[in-house]
Amino acid sequence: MKEKLKSILSVPTYTWEEDQLIAYVTNILEEKGYPYYLDDLGSIYITKGKSEYYPCLVAHLDSVHQIKEYEVVEESQLNTQGEDKPSLVGYDSVTGERCGVGGDDKAGVFICLELLDKFDNIKAFFPVAEEIGCKGSKAADESFFKDVGYAVQFDSTENNTMSKTLLGVELYEDGGEFINKCKGLILEHGIDEWKHHPYTDTMVLKERFDFSCLNFAAGYYGWHSNTEYVVIEDVKNAISLGEKVINKLGNQKYQYEHKINNFVWGLGLPIV
């Protein structure tokens, strides 16, 4: 797993310059025979199997780090709990200085690709241009989401956070069947900081469509900085959580019309 994660983190991607990562992901999909298509912006849509309703995995393809040559290496870094853990960091190939490794959100893309292998009937959506206002999600193909039962994104920070709201948009009904079914699993995997976050793609999907959403920690730290890194163990934990949650929720529709609550900046961590 570590080498595959290192490989995807080594692919440079930037908003509106996601071509290399699009090629990387679609090559994997073609090798495995997973049906997919791209829209005019470059967002990727995958449907695997046949079902009345599908879980839909979500992670965005762009990062804030401009295209450059860099090397991804393994080093010990701190997790949220202050423990030294094997992690993947980036070094600029020209200057030798630390640079962003693009864990936000290539770690999420990796998690979704791993989860695609574990289910026979599932969808995945990899939008472009999240970092400048979820442009890919705002332009997403409506027809693809007509049979989505719920969406699970991996674009929250570190190893213990998830989004309760995004810019005031509730992702699920508090106390409802959807969250009650998987709450125990979420807490068992150490996700105990349920935040009122700024935006990511599930906010837009929740605004546009009527299914419940989740946004889980993807194991990246120091996001949007040259000291960004990804803790390998936290990525494994996210994959395990995703698998168990989807098995628990199954292939059914969890309907929930979006609501907007008052949002106070500074209460959550930046998910952009």
Residue 75, CB half-sphere, CA atoms under 13 Å: how many? 13
Specify whether the CB–CB gap between 74 and 2 falls below 8 A: yes
* pLDDT tops 90 at residue 4: yes
* pLDDT band, residue 257 (cuts 50/70/90): confident
* pLDDT band, residue 268 (cuts 50/70/90): very low
Mean pLDDT of 121-130: 98
* pLDDT band, residue 260 (cuts 50/70/90): low
Kindly list the domain boundaries of the chain, sorted by start residue: 2-249
Q: Two tokens at 198?
A: 């700024």
With both helix axes pointing from N to C terminus, report the angle between 2-9 and 232-249 in degrees, rounded to the nearest 10: 100
Mean pLDDT of 144-153: 98
Mean pLDDT of 117-136: 97
To the nearest 10°, report the CA torsion of 164, 228, 240, 23.
Answer: 100
**DSSP states of 157-178:** -TTTEEEEEETTEESS-TTSHH
User: What is the per-residue pLDDT across 61-119, written as a single tens digit (0 to 9) for each?
Assistant: 999 999 999 999 999 999 999 999 999 999 999 999 999 999 999 999 999 999 999 99
Q: Which CATH number applies to 2-249: 3.30.1490.20, 1.10.1040.10, 3.10.450.50, 3.40.630.10?
A: 3.40.630.10
To the nearest 10°, report the CA torsion of 78, 82, 86, 87.
Answer: -30
- Give the E-state strand segments of 8-160 in sequence order: 36-38, 44-48, 54-58, 70-78, 84-92, 98-99, 122-126, 148-156
- CA proximity to 270, closest of 83, 64, 47, 72: 64
**DSSP states of 25-61:** HHHHHHHHT--EEE-TT--EEEEES--SSEEEEE--S
Q: Two tokens at 205?
A: 């999907």
- CA proximity to 48, closest of 99, 97, 116: 116
* pLDDT tops 80 at residue 185: yes
Which pLDDT score, from 0 to 100, does residue 170 have? 94
* pLDDT band, residue 271 (cuts 50/70/90): very low
Between CA 259 and CA 168 the distance in angstroms is 8
Q: What is the pTM of this model?
A: 0.94
Mean pLDDT of 178-188: 97
Q: Could you give the 3-state DSSP secondary structure of residue 11?
A: coil
Provide the β-strand partners of residue 55. Answer: 150
* pLDDT tops 70 at residue 17: yes
